[in-house]
């Protein structure tokens, strides 16, 4: 059974981390969104064959202006369209996720590498969200403009991953990151203990001579 002291410590860590995390996140959310949107929008533009003209930030709202160079009967023409998104659409669980990570501290042996991997995974999820959202909106815009026609494999490529990330991954993000940390750290022995035959045995120091 879990130690009562560990449960109390985990609860206190969670409450403290969540209170502090919400306060800090309100102030850094917009800057975080700038970085994520800038990276993901350019990746999306590269895959869809567009160019990023401008990205305007208004608080936590980002408006990406994409340019698609189309060939018409009159010659080359630029098709401009905007994609707007809010940072909160994909990052509303960040304070809860970080708080849950802090609450796991009493139960697992932290490894700096594993912690960095968890944070990288969190950022990757957000980059993929914006990447597929921008790509999906770009795909729809090109179809509406008559530049592209509906091709099921391409439609599936843009629609299914974004729906899956939006409906499943973002909503269950805290538990996914928590599960990652838990299983990633299970193989690390706790200092002062060793495992033998599935049982945890306390390491005892050899008695000193003359004792």
> How many Cβ atoms from other residues are within 10 Å of residue 106's Cβ?
17
The helices-and-strands tally (H runs, E runs) of the chain is 6, 5
Q: Where in the chain are the domains?
A: 4-49+90-184
- pLDDT tens-digit profile of 130-165? 999 999 999 999 888 888 888 889 889 999 999 999
Per-position b or e across 45-83, b if 16+ CB within 10 A of its CB = beebebebeebebeebbbebebebeeeeeeeeeebebeb
- pTM for this prediction: 0.82
Cα–Cα distances in angstroms (integers) from residue 206 to residues 3, 161, 191, 200, 210, in the given order: 27, 57, 17, 18, 12
- pLDDT tens-digit profile of 180-194? 888 887 655 444 444
How far does CA 154 lie from the centroid of its chain? 24
Confidence label for 198 from pLDDT (cuts 50, 70 and 90): very low
- pLDDT tens-digit profile of 50-74? 999 999 999 889 999 999 987 765 6
């Amino acid at each position: 059974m879990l130690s009562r002291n560990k449960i109390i410590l985990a609860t206190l860590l969670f409450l403290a981390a969540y209170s502090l995390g919400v306060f800090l996140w309100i102030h850094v959310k917009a800057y975080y969104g700038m970085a994520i949107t800038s990276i993901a929008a350019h990746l999306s533009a590269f895959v869809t064959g567009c160019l990023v003209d401008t990205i305007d930030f208004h608080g936590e709202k980002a408006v990406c202006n994409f340019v698609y160079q189309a060939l018409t009967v009159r010659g080359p023409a630029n098709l401009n369209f905007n994609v707007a998104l809010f940072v909160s659409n994909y990052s509303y669980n960040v304070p809860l996720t970080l708080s849950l990570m802090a609450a796991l501290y009493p139960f697992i042996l932290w490894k700096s590498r594993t912690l960095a991997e968890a944070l990288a995974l969190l950022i990757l999820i957000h980059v993929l969200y914006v990447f597929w959202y921008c790509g999906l909106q770009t795909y729809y815009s090109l179809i509406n403009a008559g530049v592209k026609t509906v091709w099921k494999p391409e439609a599936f490529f843009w629609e299914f991953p974004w729906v899956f990330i939006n409906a499943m991954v973002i909503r269950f993000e805290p538990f996914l990151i928590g599960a990652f940390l838990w299983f990633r750290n299970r193989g690390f022995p706790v200092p002062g203990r060793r495992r033998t035959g599935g049982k945890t045995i306390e390491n005892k120091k050899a008695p000193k001579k003359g004792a």
